């Protein structure tokens, strides 16, 4: 079914060059780029578009579904853009792009997707090319951030779970080698959320695809995650219900969480360095003596306890760990908003039950178990044996924001420990190929109160130095054997890079956590990684 992807024989290819795009100044490069379209023959694939794009072009992306962002992107360097449609079965296929910079470092970068996407990772592709990578991305088998196209179509579901990411990497390797006339030196992966899960899926099932993987906030234990995301509705009930907390009351809860846990790391700055050691108890907030404001009814306190507790089946089996304390303020608008969770609705309707009438309000223990049992195409992504990655010398940097309000960071050490026990390795042995970092004060894949810019993508880059850039740290590890001990994160003044650095923190390698020692707390040197 899947033959050799790219031959050199001539084939009919649809080539369009948009006049709105500034061409690179190197005319040889432009010619080479457009010739690629005439020479590239992609089995099971058809070329949509080929264009040479000059650095600084603001590229509009009309082929993106409206549910995807961005709808335009600035192309950072001169590059050749090729877009292809690739068929994966009689009823499925994906759209992919390769961005081939004129000033190529020899490295290849595959980018991941997010949510139920459906959206090419143009941001990460742009970021990758700015660092000299040839970058590849796909729509993961369907357009738009919805699971509706899985309905009656397990092939589209297979593309989402593993196939589009794998085959677009294979295609990207061939296209890159053909275009530059030499093989790439190393193949890398960058992704967060669903993209983090895709990175681990590659590590588990396609270890040959990458020499290095950055997996952020991975959506591991994916079926169980969708159960967990969907269970908050029952806990809060809709706005106005006795169990519901309006967002301002979650701010009160958050301040109480900080009262109990912010000082555990030795410094009170609004950031809980390691939520693992925070065992929050909301009972102090229960309204006393007829008070009605800034306090919780017993029913609301029950909601808070439930929201910050692990989810279990009726039999007591763990489905998913608790939301880590500290993320309440934004979680109020995402998980605790008294509405059903759209990804949960999509996953159960179109991937688990194939029944668009399933009502996400009714989710319960039987559904958690049904999803874990069905586990389509092993979307769970929970294999603990990464020996193929280890044996070929590939490296994995796994990171997770400590204020993640969509995927709890407490699932990440759970996976690390699962790998550790499955492989029977010590932390020091895991360190040779797999390292996990909790990035404190950081939301879902970026942003937050903490030193969240670790070079994980556009807008999160303080510099390209491996010391403070997770992607270049990975390159340094893979190519020079220098493994990162910490990930140095940056918080800019008002989150504006132009306004300069507010503070930096060196995020610790698991299982250690950060502890303030002495001196200016804005300097990483005033902190130390200690055992929990």
Ligand X SMILES: *[C@@H]1O[C@H](CO)[C@@H](O)[C@H](O)[C@H]1NC(C)=O
Q: Which residues lie near ligand X (CB under 6 A)?
A: 14, 46, 48, 58, 60, 72, 74, 85, 95, 103, 105, 132, 143, 221, 224, 234, 237, 313, 317, 319, 361, 364, 368-369, 372, 380, 382
444 included as an active-site residue: yes
Q: How far apart are CA 147 and CA 345, in angstroms?
A: 9
* Shortest distance, position 523 Cβ to ligand X, whole Å: 30
* Shortest distance, position 113 Cβ to ligand X, whole Å: 15
* Shortest distance, position 476 Cβ to ligand X, whole Å: 14
265 included as an active-site residue: no
Query: 193, 227, 229, 412: which is the annotated catalytic residue?
Result: 193
DSSP 453: B
Distance of CA 133 to the CA centre of its chain: 19
Helix (H) / strand (E) containing 175: helix 164-180
Query: 231, 444, 452, 507: which is the annotated catalytic residue?
Result: 444
Looking at the Cβ atoms of 204 and 442, the one nearer to ligand X is 204
Instruction: Encode burial over 75-84: b for 16+ CB neighbours within 10 A, e otherwise.
Output: bbbbbbbbbb
Tell me the DSSP string of 423-444: HT--HHHHTTTEEEEEETT--S
Looking at the Cβ atoms of 46 and 334, the one nearer to ligand X is 46
* Shortest distance, position 234 Cβ to ligand X, whole Å: 4
Q: How far apart are CA 54 and CA 37, in angstroms?
A: 18
Looking at the Cβ atoms of 260 and 422, the one nearer to ligand X is 422
Beta-sheet strands, E only, within 373-473: 395-401, 434-439
DSSP 353: S
| Burial degree of 119 (CB within 10 A; 0-12, 13-18, 19+) | buried
Helix (H) / strand (E) containing 373: helix 365-374
Directed axis angle between helix 222-236 and helix 365-374, to 10°? 170
CB 485 within 8 A of CB 397: no
Looking at the Cβ atoms of 93 and 448, the one nearer to ligand X is 93
Q: Which residue has the tokens 């080539």?
A: 15
Instruction: Encode burial over 337-373: b for 16+ CB neighbours within 10 A, e otherwise.
Output: bbbbbbbbbbbbbbbbebeeebebeebebebbbebbe
Tell me the DSSP string of 221-287: SHHHHHHHHHHHHHHH-STTSTT---HHHHHHHHHHHHHHHGGGGT--SS--S-GGG----GGGGB-
DSSP 498: G
* Shortest distance, position 438 Cβ to ligand X, whole Å: 19
CB 120 within 8 A of CB 70: no
CA distances from 228 to 99, 323, 344, 398, 412 (A): 37, 10, 9, 22, 15
Q: Which residues contact 462 (CB under 8 A, 6 or more apart)?
A: 453, 455, 468, 469, 490, 492, 497, 501, 504
Looking at the Cβ atoms of 272 and 372, the one nearer to ligand X is 372
Looking at the Cβ atoms of 415 and 503, the one nearer to ligand X is 415
Distance of CA 92 to the CA centre of its chain: 24
Looking at the Cβ atoms of 83 and 456, the one nearer to ligand X is 83
For the chain, what is the total number of helices (H) and then of strands (E)?
A: 15, 19
Measure CA of the first residue to CA of the last residue in the chain; give whole Å.
51
* Shortest distance, position 163 Cβ to ligand X, whole Å: 16
* Shortest distance, position 372 Cβ to ligand X, whole Å: 4
Residue 41's CB is within 10 A of a number of other CB atoms, namely 18
Looking at the Cβ atoms of 265 and 404, the one nearer to ligand X is 404
* Shortest distance, position 260 Cβ to ligand X, whole Å: 28
* Shortest distance, position 104 Cβ to ligand X, whole Å: 8
Task: Tell me the three state secondary structure of residue 335.
Answer: coil
Q: Which residue has the tokens 């195409």?
A: 377
* Shortest distance, position 313 Cβ to ligand X, whole Å: 5
Looking at the Cβ atoms of 74 and 532, the one nearer to ligand X is 74
231 included as an active-site residue: no
Looking at the Cβ atoms of 46 and 295, the one nearer to ligand X is 46
Q: Which residues are catalytic?
A: 193, 404, 444
């Amino acid at each position: 079914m899947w033959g050799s992807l790219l031959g050199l024989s001539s084939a009919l290819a649809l080539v369009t060059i948009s006049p709105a795009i500034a061409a690179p100044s190197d005319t040889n490069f432009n010619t080479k780029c457009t010739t690629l379209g005439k020479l590239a023959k992609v089995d099971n694939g058809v070329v949509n578009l080929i264009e040479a794009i000059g650095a600084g072009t603001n590229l509009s992306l009309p082929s993106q579904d409206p549910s995807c962002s961005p709808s335009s992107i600035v192309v950072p360097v001169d590059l050749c853009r090729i877009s292809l449609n690739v068929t994966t079965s009689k009823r499925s296929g994906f759209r992919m792009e390769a961005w081939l910079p004129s000033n190529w470092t020899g490295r290849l970068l595959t980018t991941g997707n997010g949510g139920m996407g459906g959206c090419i990772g143009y941001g990460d592709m742009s970021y990758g090319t700015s660092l000299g990578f040839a970058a590849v991305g796909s729509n993961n088998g369907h357009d738009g951030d919805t699971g509706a196209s899985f309905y009656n179509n397990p092939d589209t579901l297979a593309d989402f779970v593993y196939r589009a990411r794998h085959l677009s990497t294979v295609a990207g390797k061939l296209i890159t080698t053909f275009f530059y006339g030499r093989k790439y030196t190393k193949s890398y992966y960058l992704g967060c959320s669903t993209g983090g899960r895709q990175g681990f899926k590659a590590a588990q099932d396609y270890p040959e695809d990458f020499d290095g993987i950055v997996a952020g906030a991975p959506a591991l234990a994916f079926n169980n995650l969708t159960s967990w995301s969907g269970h908050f509705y029952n806990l809060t009930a809709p706005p106005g219900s006795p169990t519901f907390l309006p967002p301002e009351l979650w701010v009160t809860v958050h301040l109480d969480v900080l009262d109990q846990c912010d000082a555990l790391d030795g410094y009170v700055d609004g950031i809980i360095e390691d939520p693992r050691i925070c065992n929050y108890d909301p009972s102090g907030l229960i309204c006393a003596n007829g008070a009605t404001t800034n306090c919780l009814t017993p029913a609301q306190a029950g909601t808070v306890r439930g929201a910050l507790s692990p989810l279990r089946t009726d039999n007591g089996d763990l489905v998913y760990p608790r939301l880590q304390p500290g993320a309440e303020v934004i979680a109020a608008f995402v998980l605790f908003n008294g509405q059903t969770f759209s990804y949960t609705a999509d996953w159960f309707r179109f991937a688990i039950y194939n029944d668009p009438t399933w009502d996400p309000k009714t989710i319960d223990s039987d559904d958690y178990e049904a999803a874990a049992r069905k586990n389509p195409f092993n979307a769970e992504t929970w294999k603990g044996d990464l020996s193929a990655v280890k044996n070929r010398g590939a490296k994995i940097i796994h990171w997770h924001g400590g204020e993640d309000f969509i995927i709890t960071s407490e699932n990440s050490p759970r996976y690390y420990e699962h790998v550790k026990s499955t492989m029977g390795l010590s932390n020091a042995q895991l360190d040779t190929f797999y390292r996990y970092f909790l990035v404190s004060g950081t939301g879902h894949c970026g942003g937050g109160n903490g030193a969240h810019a670790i070079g994980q993508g556009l807008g999160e880059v303080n510099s390209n130095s491996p010391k403070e850039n997770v992607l270049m740290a990975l390159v340094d590890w893979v190519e020079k054997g220098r493994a990162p001990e910490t990930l140095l994160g940056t918080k800019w003044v008002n989150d504006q890079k132009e306004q300069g650095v507010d503070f930096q923190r060196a995020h610790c390698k698991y299982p250690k956590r950060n502890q303030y020692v002495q001196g200016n707390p804005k300097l990483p040197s005033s902190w130390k990684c200690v055992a929990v």
